[in-house]
Amino acid sequence: MAIVTMDDDDAVEETDGRGTMVIRVWSEPAGDGPFRARLTFSRTSADQPQVSVVTSPEQLLETVRQWLAEAPG
């Protein structure tokens, strides 16, 4: 796991090739189910981030598992 601060000169080199994923979880009282999560992720600092929105904890876990399975060695 890499922890990077905005003023870290080696930030790109330190995390390049490992990827970054940010998960935001919230609840919506109206609708089919209250669970919502948005996953924002990329593999390298040069990649455009991808976004996935899920509506259940199971979908969230499956998306994370898939992303980790595709991670480089």
Specify if 3 maps to a domain.
Answer: no
Specify if 4 maps to a domain.
Answer: no
Specify if 24 maps to a domain.
Answer: yes
pLDDT for 1-27, tens place per residue? 344 445 555 555 554 557 899 999 999
Specify if 45 maps to a domain.
Answer: yes
**pLDDT at residue 66, rounded to an integer:** 93
Long-range contacts of 23-32 (CB under 8 A, 24+ apart): 23/60, 23/64, 25/60
**pLDDT at residue 60, rounded to an integer:** 96
Specify if 19 maps to a domain.
Answer: yes
CA–CA gap between residue 17 and residue 25 (Å, rounded): 26
Specify if 38 maps to a domain.
Answer: yes
Residue with tokens 């080199």, as numbered in its chain: 13
As for how many domains the chain has, the answer is 1
